[in-house]
Amino acid sequence: MKMTFRWYGEKSDSVTLSQIKQIPGMTGIMGFLDYKAAGEVWNEDEIAAYIAQVNAAGLECEVIESVNVHEDIKLGLPSRDRFIENYRETIKNLAKHGVKVIVYNFMPVFDWLRTDLARLIPEDGSNSLYFDEAELGDMSPLDLVRSTIDGSNGFTLPGWEPERLAELEKTLELYKSVAPDDLRANYKYFLDGIIPVCEEQGIVMACHPDDPAWPVFGLPRIAHSQSDFDKIVALRDSPSNTVCLCTGSLGSDPNNDVVAAIRHFGSMGRIGCLHVRNIKHLGYRKFREAAHLSESGDLDMYEIMRAVFETCPDSYIRPDHGRMIWGETGRPGYGLYDRALGAAYLNGLWEAVVKNAK
Ligand code: CS2
Ligand code: MN
């Protein structure tokens, strides 16, 4: 297991590399060029500069998250071939600089969605990301985007880049004629275009689940259960076509058995990396993100780490979103303190799992 931390780059993160390096057991980061629009080529010089900076801080950068997929690819528009070609170029450029895993998602229009970015947790006075479908019912997609941007403390959130959102209404209209099977067919076309390059370059693609784990705003979504991911890994049967197993995203639906999913895809060799965080269910399609500790939420974090150890022990892991605690401000979900506590806790569980196995 390699414990890593998401880092958005010097200009876009409130957390510094030296702070990350001081978290016990931290081996590297999951990197991101946050200024790249979906569909753009990531050039070698910018990749090299970013990775050199990470390495200079004593950290590795073997995972990149996210190289976003252009909407035209998901919609299956004729212009997709140009964007797939750019994606292939980016894969080759990343591989040249030692990257092994690329995390991405295939969610139409939105990345993760929340109805509140700073919901008070009454038990301890901290706050965390929160979702309640009932609140969403009254909002248009544009309302939600506006409130999300307003609540993000001046940071751009992943998947919420202004360029991508400018054409929101037009894009939503285009999706009206895309059924889940069409989206899957477009996904296969994308994978057929990029996976051969990944195989040749030694790169693993890891698909992040839909978050929350159900369709929103009537958009097609095809990546939020074990059976969805069975279909995804079968779209292109290759060790380079894998899952980014995000426990909090899959776990937002209490019907998903996260531990079983890890065992299932882990033993198939189809887990490219994991995001490990906890979630607290509060009702039907209503949840908040909890501290990583098992007893703070509804997931059994010990069993999660044991499943990783027994089926995919060499995985890259990162704590996922954290709460905002101790008065910290920053990018919602991406402060330093609670994610550092999360990493320390997961490392502790790992030590216990490893020693118990002996
Ligand atoms: C991440 C996702 O912040 C998060 O929730 O887990 O944004 C993830 O990086 C993307 O979906 C992958 O493209
Ligand atoms: Mn995640």
Predicted local confidence at residue 137, as pLDDT: 78
- Per the listing, tokens 């979103």 go with 321
Question: Closest Cα to residue 246, out of 304, 191, 331?
Answer: 304
pLDDT band per the 50, 70, 90 thresholds, residue 164:
low
Ligand 1 mean position, distance from CA 358 (Å) = 35
- Tell me how far apart the terminal alpha carbons of the chain are, to the nearest angstrom: 17
Give, in words, the CATH class of 2-357: alpha beta
Query: Is-catalytic flag, 320?
Result: yes
Phi, psi of 37 (to 5 degrees): -75, 155
Phi, psi of 14 (to 5 degrees): -80, -10
Query: Is-catalytic flag, 208?
Result: yes
Q: Which of 66, 90, 152, 334 to mutate to test the pocket of ligand 1 (most atoms within 8 A of CB)?
A: 66
Given a cut of 80, whether residue 282 has pLDDT beyond it is: yes
Q: What percent of the chain has pLDDT over 70?
A: 97
Predicted local confidence at residue 155, as pLDDT: 74
Predicted local confidence at residue 188, as pLDDT: 98
Counting ligands in written order, the one closest to the CA of 113 is: 1
Given a cut of 90, whether residue 149 has pLDDT beyond it is: no
CA dihedral of 89, 187, 313, 253, whole degrees rounded to 10: 140
For residue 250, give both structure tokens: 């899959």
Q: Residues with Cβ within 6 A of ligand 1? A: 65-66, 103-105, 111-112, 158-159, 208, 211, 246, 275, 320, 333
Given a cut of 90, whether residue 142 has pLDDT beyond it is: no
- Per the listing, tokens 């958005």 go with 8
For residues 72-99, give the mean pLDDT. 98
Query: Is-catalytic flag, 224?
Result: no
pLDDT band per the 50, 70, 90 thresholds, residue 138:
confident
Question: Closest Cα to residue 246, out of 220, 288, 208?
Answer: 208
Spatial strand order in the sheet of 127-132: 116-120, 127-132, 286-289, 279-283
Predicted local confidence at residue 162, as pLDDT: 67
Q: Which residues contact 228 (CB under 8 A, 6 or more apart)?
A: 222
pLDDT band per the 50, 70, 90 thresholds, residue 166:
confident
Q: How many CB atoms lie within 10 A of CB 99?
A: 24
Question: Atom 5, ligand 1: which residue's CA is nearest?
Answer: 112
Ligand 1 mean position, distance from CA 104 (Å) = 7
Ligand 2 mean position, distance from CA 78 (Å) = 30
Q: Which atom of ligand 1 is nearest to the CA of 67?
A: 13
Ligand 2 mean position, distance from CA 247 (Å) = 7
pLDDT band per the 50, 70, 90 thresholds, residue 169:
confident
Residues by chain with Cβ below 5 Å of ion ligand 2? 246, 275, 320
pTM here is 0.96
**Least confident range of 63-67, 107-111, 210-214:** 107-111
Query: Is-catalytic flag, 207?
Result: no
Ligand 2 mean position, distance from CA 248 (Å) = 7
For residue 96, give both structure tokens: 């040249």
Counting ligands in written order, the one closest to the CA of 223 is: 1
Say which DSSP state 205 is in: E
Whole-angstrom Cα Rg for the chain: 19
Q: Which residues contact 124 (CB under 8 A, 6 or more apart)?
A: none
Q: What percent of the chain has pLDDT over 90?
A: 90
Q: If residue 96 lies in a helix (H) or strand (E), which one and from where to where?
A: helix 80-96
